[in-house]
Chains A and B, each alone.
Chain A
Amino acid sequence: MPMSGMTIHGLSKSYGNNVVLRGVDLQIRAGRIHALLGPNGAGKSTLLGCLSGAVRPDAGTITVNGLTHTGFTPQSALKAGTAIIYQHLELVSDLSAVENIFLGSEQRTPFGTVRKAAQRRIASELLDRVGADFDPSRPLTSLTMGQKQVVEIAKALHHRPEVLILDEPTAALSSRETDILLGLITRLAHESGLAIVYVTHLLREVTAVADEVSVLRDGSVEWTRPTADLGIETLIEGITGAPVARAATATSENRPVQHDRPPLLELADFRASGAPGVSVRIGAGEIVGVFGLLGSGRTNLVEALAGARPSEGGFRLAGSDLRLSSPGIARRSGIALVPSDRKSQSLFSSLSAQENVLMPHYRRLSRGWRRPRVEQHVFDSVAGRMSLHPMSAGLAGDRFSGGNAQKLVMGRWLMDGSGVTLLLLDEPTQGVDVGARAELHRMIREFARESERAVIFVSSDVEELNALADRVVVLAESRIVGIVPGDTAERELMVLAQPAPSSGPSEVRSEGNTAA
């Protein structure tokens, strides 16, 4: 019998000293939905990259359709029979569904012109198959997220894949759209016989559609089991990576917060560009973590707090009401943001380390003219305190390792005299090595403890939340669904953060308890 589905054997990948995949073995069977779980940093993205041709594995094999491969390019992956659908859709929004489905594989006449009628016919068939209810010649801009997701799947099906990989496909969908999508995926597996790899953080999706579950941790597959054999506790452990035994039952009482002083920051029905209102009070010296799943609005919230996104509602910092209409205004009010995407949003890659740290401060440090000695001195003291490595003022930003580049962009605001009272951090230590991470944590703590300052940081890494946060604000669908102590266990946070549109968050929690 020919091997159907996909077999992954001994797949390994490392970047320099950083071993990401340590010999992944995985068997994905045709006609089954295989959920792939694992905490952040377990190597899921790298594994998917290997399967889609974005990443070249160092060792190991991938067998699809009876043929064994040692790695893919994006084209050869499609040819071999694997198709991937990412969280962020890769469609051209000005083109129609038909044109998107045939993008790069247009059907041509001998004269090189596109066979429009034939394309339209095939696309309509594909779209019918996935249950599309819209005109395939409409431009994508007029479709909803769910409809676009369906176009993406139709596009993948056009390549007749054996294996369809979906990477958190429902992150941007409404609950109704999610239901439709899950139904479609089930049909594709059980009726059309596709092997489906389904990557998700969402418990209810695993229980709803998955036939089998594999958990990836530290770059290898920890276990694979049929979903029917799994209890909720085991699943949560799979998603979070935290053993249930370690997950202390968190009390919902907050750690005592000083109430003798007025809060440093007070949000009253603060709304980030169309999101529901958020109300919270944060005291001076406090470090508050923000936890939420992908699509929970966590980045929107901190960007709005930094003036980088329109917002409405009450925002009171150190006793004065503010209206944040630009990052410049936020800066002058003492608010600074370190965005999560260092490369595109914070690092000046070709500028020197010193320029990277001092960029927001040149005007402040000057007396009309710049004062090179003063600049040099300020940089040296920041770099010294952060243990920058290499300690080189002139080295370009992109020559530093991830951790040290992060020190540069965080050093901007952590330095003395930066004038920052509210520091906002989005995934402050993502992709940062352990040593640099500890140093960054130490600096964040020192920063907050000094005088009238506070830190709000978004993190999907619970270890970091536990290590750093006094309290954790849990977001789901842009609403605060809980404010819990900083040492709350991952399991608890994960349960709180599950979006539950039909039932309230409390019911999800009780569901978790009964299954235990």
Chain B
Amino acid sequence: MTEVIATDAKSEPAPSLKSGLLTGIDSIMPVATVGLMIFFAVNHSSFLTKDNLLLIALQSAPLMVVAVGAALLLMSGYIDLSIGSVMAVSGVCAGLTFNSAGVTAGVMVGLGVGLAVGLLNGVLIGYFKLSPIIVTLGILAAGRGLAQVLSPDALYGFPSAVLEFGNARVLGVPTLVWIAVFVVALGALVMTLLPAGRHVVAVGVNSRAAYLSGIPVRRLVLSLYALVGTLSALGGLMVVARLDSAPSGTLGAGFEISVLTAVLLGGIPYSGGKGHLWRVVVGVWLMGILTNGITLMNVSSQLSQVLTGAVLVLAAALEGVRFWIHRSSR
């Protein structure tokens, strides 16, 4: 045995700098949100009014509802691209039922269709191990087509209760906003107070380890897709109630991109495993004020689409930087 190499003290790779940088990255989004609000408030006097803020909340409500489900799904490392078409199929099925069997039956049918599509996604992905992206992309295309087959033209002329519900307020706050608040609370409850919340994260971090420690991974994945399907349907119904119409071609079109943007802005990495629901709420709110502020400032809707896309790329870039910091200190 030759000399012993001088042993350096316990090699701790400067955790303070790393965690400092990560905290910095994590706070970019909330800071940007507040900054944007100040910017719009300064530039437009009607931005920071109670009515306008409630309007933003109302416009964001369907996105909020779907984003909660998508956030849970992404935390477990899975993705659903079929959201927009599920909204369309559910909305159209509900619309067809409104006129024949009444509002309650319509809501049930709409939610039931969403649940069914979610279960289909979940079985194909969780049990048959098919690729989440391919399966849900297929459902995205097929669902839109199905909606248009069921009703080539936009459905309208629903019972008055539909629009009344869409415009109703409780305690001065739109009912649809209450629904979003309720769904967020439900999501937060699952994540913090139920064992299933921990299982979601476990599957996202290391699905093999979760499987080997006896967590029913397949059933969990199935449940999450069923949840996203149902919440997509709920989001679709909320849009229908606001529009008082179910246009099969445009209902929910591109919605999955907004949802994904909001969830990624919320700091849930594409690879799953971590994230907080409150950040997703901030992400949705950021997108809401962006759309609203841009409209107030008379920017064309095409340009606002470009901006939304840019925000998605920005969110991905932030995630990239976070990943890079995490890696570089290894």
Contact = CB atoms under 8 A, between A and B. Distances in A.
A347 interface: yes
A347 B194 contact: no
B202 interface: yes
B208 A331 contact: no
Nearest to B203: A348
Nearest to A217: B1
Interface in A327-361: 327-328, 330-332, 336-337, 339, 344-351, 355, 358-360
A412 interface: yes
A358 B211 CA distance: 14
A445 interface: no
B194 to A, nearest CB: 7
Contacts of A359: 198-199, 202, 210, 213, 215
Contacts of B199: 359, 362
B251 to A, nearest CB: 37
Nearest to B6: A14
Interface string B178-207: 000000000000001111001101100110
Contacts of A337: 212
Interface stretch (A15-23, A161-169, A249-257): A15-23
Contacts of A17: 7, 10
B274 A370 contact: no
B2 interface: yes
Contacts of A218: 1
A412 B214 CA distance: 12
DSSP majority for the B interface? loop
Nearest to B211: A327
Contacts of B208: 344-345
Contacts of B3: 22-23
B2 A350 contact: no
B24 interface: no
Nearest to A355: B198
Interface string B210-227: 111111100000000000
B214 A327 contact: yes
B5 A12 contact: yes
Contacts of B114: none
A306 B213 CA distance: 10
A396 B60 CA distance: 35
Contacts of B206: 344-349
Interface size bucket, A side?
A: 35 or more
B11 A16 contact: yes
A488 interface: no
Contacts of B198: 355, 358-359, 362, 370
B134 interface: no
B141 interface: no
Nearest to A330: B214
Contacts of A366: 194-195
B303 interface: no
Interface string A410-421: 001000000000
A345 B215 contact: no
B41 interface: no
Nearest to B269: A350
Given A220-B1, A369-B194, A346 B213 contact: yes
B10 A22 contact: no
Given A359-B198, A359-B210, A328 B215 contact: yes
A331 B212 CA distance: 9
B214 A360 contact: yes
A305 B12 CA distance: 39
A69 B5 CA distance: 19
Given A17-B10, A348-B205, A348-B206, A22 B213 contact: no
B209 interface: yes
B4 interface: yes
Contacts of A347: 206, 209
B267 interface: no
A292 B134 CA distance: 43
Nearest to A359: B202
A358 B198 CA distance: 10
Nearest to A338: B212
Contact of B10 (A12, A16, A399): A16
Nearest to B209: A346
B247 interface: no
A370 B195 contact: yes
Interface in A1-57: 10, 12-17, 19, 22-23
A370 B273 contact: no
Contacts of B212: 306, 308, 327, 337, 339, 345-346
A58 B5 contact: yes
Given A362-B195, A362-B199, A363-B195, A332 B2 contact: no
Given A218-B1, A350-B205, A16 B8 contact: yes
Q: Which of B4, B206, B215 has the most CB of A within 10 A?
A: B206
Nearest to B330: A398
Interface in A362-412: 362-363, 365-366, 368-370, 399, 412
Interface of B: 1-5, 7-8, 10-11, 15, 192-195, 198-199, 201-202, 205-206, 208-216, 273-274
6 contacts: A218-B1, A344-B208, A347-B206, A351-B202, A359-B213, A370-B193
> Which 6 pairs across A and B sit closest by C-beta, in order of nearness?
A331-B214, A23-B2, A362-B195, A360-B213, A363-B195, A348-B205
